[in-house]
Amino acid sequence: QNDICLTATDCFILALENHIHNQGTSGNTCRYVFEIEGDFNEETLKTTLAQNTASQQMASFALHKDLPLSIPKWRAHTNFNIDVHVYKDDNYLPDYILNKIITSTTAPLFCFDILKRSNGNSTLIFSWNHLLMDGYGAVLYLKQLNSKSFNNSSIGLSQKTKLSYALLKEATKAKFFLSRTSKNPTSGISPELAYQKVHQKIKVISFTKEETDMIDGIAPKMGAKFGRSPYYLACAARGVKSILLSRKQTVSNFWIPVPQNQRKKGAQGPLLGNHLSFLFYRINSNTLNTIDGGVKDINEQMVQQVKNGIPKAYDVLMNYLKRIPTSLYYHLIKGPQGNSLSGFLFTLAEDHPNDLLNFLDHKVTNALSFPPNTYPPGLTFAFMRFEGKLQVMLLYYNEVLSETEANQLEEQLKFELATGQNFIKP
């Protein structure tokens, strides 16, 4: 088994680990949560994991760097046990699950927890460090585990970094674009004072199939012509703006990076690594006075960036940055404005696949993909669908949003997404 180099995005995520040092944050830990009908058997899962080549390979990976300027790699060590813990609990995601952090330094970089509910059903939680894979990779991995197929050809591909004048020009283009769009003034949800210890919270907003169909009808009318992401993002940004206004804060521009999946459509791999690029939005607060104003602004920026090849140029830039020491990389990402990396965080996960409505012979009644909630900013909006029903996850910290503000945000978001009309506080 040869070493596998980290992807360009992995190196970016590795640099971000320098940002994550407050107690009580989710760190770089992602979670995929299955709600399952009936009593889920941990022995079946343990046997499946022991027989699955990809699981065994990934469980042996730990980070390794030969020299200060070499690209970090995954190196296989002797096999480790993959943890499967079982608890009896009726809380959706209890604190001991939320506070379980998977670090990038000790293998394995993933584990499973099973919550047994008093009604006889179960919840299965797959937790992993973001460095190991992105959300798309996690779904591909769970599918592979479920089909009990032992294929591991798609585990990871080492990419060579080519260097040339043309590529350097691309990288420079991306760097200038980032500097221009992220310059002050920008607004954010995070309090000025960074807390040493924070307490995480989760809210899930669920829409019915009928409501989701209505949302799909409204989004293009509002100007989201190529996918629904600009509509979701405009509603999220408006919610944050309302909270800042109720705190009597001035709102200028929100600077928001949005991840994009770079795999080919329908690709079955690679499982390992993050294959993402980003689009970057600088949303002018004035365009958010109306929903369609915000959507049009975001949509135009998206079209412009794709036309100017910004995601590709950003990819090249990330490839160039792979070799620089992590602490210096972090310093570059953080930029001059210091603490927060963006106004808030936003991600659109892949729809839960229809060929994963059964997991190891149990019916899956719901599934959610929770990204890490990086603090600061400490507020993440994640959107995904299960069986055609939209679900929105609000991940926040008590120190960033009060209970009242979180409820207000939930109420406004639910109303505006479903109606396309401005929410008026009662």
Q: What percent of the chain has pLDDT over 70?
A: 94
Confidence of residue 98 (pLDDT cuts 50, 70, 90): very high
**pLDDT tens figures, 72-83:** 899 888 767 899
Residue 336's pLDDT is 46
| Average pLDDT value for the chain | 91
Does the pLDDT value for residue 363 go beyond 90?
yes
Q: CA nearest 34: which of 137, 166, 146?
A: 146
Range with the poorest average pLDDT among 88-102, 104-118, 146-160: 146-160
Does the pLDDT value for residue 404 go beyond 80?
yes
Residue 42 exposed, middle or buried by CB count within 10 Å (0-12, 13-18, 19+)? middle
Does the pLDDT value for residue 340 go beyond 70?
no
Confidence of residue 410 (pLDDT cuts 50, 70, 90): very high
Mean pLDDT calculated for residue range 324-341? 68
Whole-model pTM: value is: 0.95
Residue 66's pLDDT is 85
Q: What percent of the chain has pLDDT over 90?
A: 65
Range with the poorest average pLDDT among 37-51, 161-175, 214-228, 278-292: 161-175
Confidence of residue 330 (pLDDT cuts 50, 70, 90): confident
Residue 422's pLDDT is 95
**pLDDT tens figures, 180-239:** 888 888 899 988 877 899 999 999 999 999 999 999 999 999 999 999 999 999 999 999
